[in-house]
Amino acid sequence: SGLLADLPTSDEAPTSAAVLAPIAHREAKPTLHGQLVNWRAVRARQLRQLPKVVCSDRELTEIEQTQPDTVEALAEIIGSLTAKQLASEILPIVASFKNSLSGTK
C-alpha cells in the first residue's frame, strides 16, 4: 500500500539510543522552567483550572529569569495577591533550583 511505502526500513530506523537520548538528557538536569511548568500543571489540576490561569507562560519565564527569593520580588511578576497565595509553593522551587546550581541543599 502507498501508506507503508513511506515507513523507514530497519536500515533507516533510528536506534533506541537515538530515540531515548533526548529523554535521558531532559531527566539528567531539570531546568527551573521545567520545574515551574510541572508545579503549574499539578496546581491547575488541584484547582480544576487551565495551567495558564494559574500562572501565565510569560510569568513563568520571568520567574525563571529573575529567580525571586521574596514575596515582594515575586509580587512584581505575578501581582501581590497572587504572590501571597503562591509564594509558599513557588519560592521553594526557585530556592531549591538555586541551591542545586551551587551544590548546596
In angstroms, the CA 11 to CA 101 distance is: 42
Over residues 38-67, the mean pLDDT reads 97
The CA distance from 20 to 26, in Å, is: 10
Contact 50, 81 (CB under 8 A): no
At residue 77 the predicted structure's pLDDT band, cuts being 50, 70 and 90, is very high
Helix (H) or strand (E) holding 46: helix 32-47
Please state whether the predicted TM-score (pTM) of the whole model is above 0.75. no
Q: Residue 55 pLDDT more than 90?
A: yes
**Residue 93 confidence (pLDDT):** 97
Q: Give the chain's mean pLDDT.
A: 83
Q: What is the dihedral of CA 87, 92, 95, 100, to 10 degrees?
A: -150
Average pLDDT for residues 15-25, to the nearest whole number? 52
Residue 70 has pLDDT above 90, yes or no: yes
